[in-house]
Amino acid sequence: MPLDIHPFIVHDISRFPLCIVRNDVVVPGYGAQWQAEIEAVMAHGVPFVLIYLEPGDDEAHADRKLRSLWLKTHKEAFGHLCISLISVLADEARRAHFDAMGKMGEQAFGIRYETAATQAEGEALAQRRIAQYGAA
């Protein structure tokens, strides 16, 4: 049964199992909606990939704290269903910075983190990860 896309604001799940974060709604206070949507995706029980398109560097502290605590609390379940987190960043220096930060996140949360230069590359990478997961 497909996910109902209508209650989703933070994530575009119209091409699930790709879950694309809508940066225009990542504003202070979005964390609770992010959490509700991730929990709905996880309740669906199907592995997925999160894709961040040109993520900002200025997430509100309260939202970052909420997401971090949620990820720590749900590390095992999230790690079982989230195949990879992919950030799409056109700027090579920002990709390198996010790669370094992502390695720390991998250690903390146990989720594969990758970057790509374009949305097409990020989506192709996501599709490869989904195919690899299905073959495992």
Distance CA(43)–CA(81), nearest Å, equals 10
Distance CA(94)–CA(116), nearest Å, equals 11
Domain ranges in the chain are 11-135
pLDDT tens-digit profile of 10-23?
Answer: 999 999 999 999 98
User: Pairing relation of β-strands 48-53 and 11-12?
Assistant: unpaired
pLDDT at 65 (0 to 100): 94
pLDDT tens-digit profile of 48-66?
Answer: 999 999 888 788 999 999 9
pTM value is: 0.89
Q: Give yes or no for residue 5 having a pLDDT over 70.
A: no
Contact 18, 126 (CB under 8 A): yes
Q: How many CA atoms lie within 13 A of 45 on its CB side?
A: 1
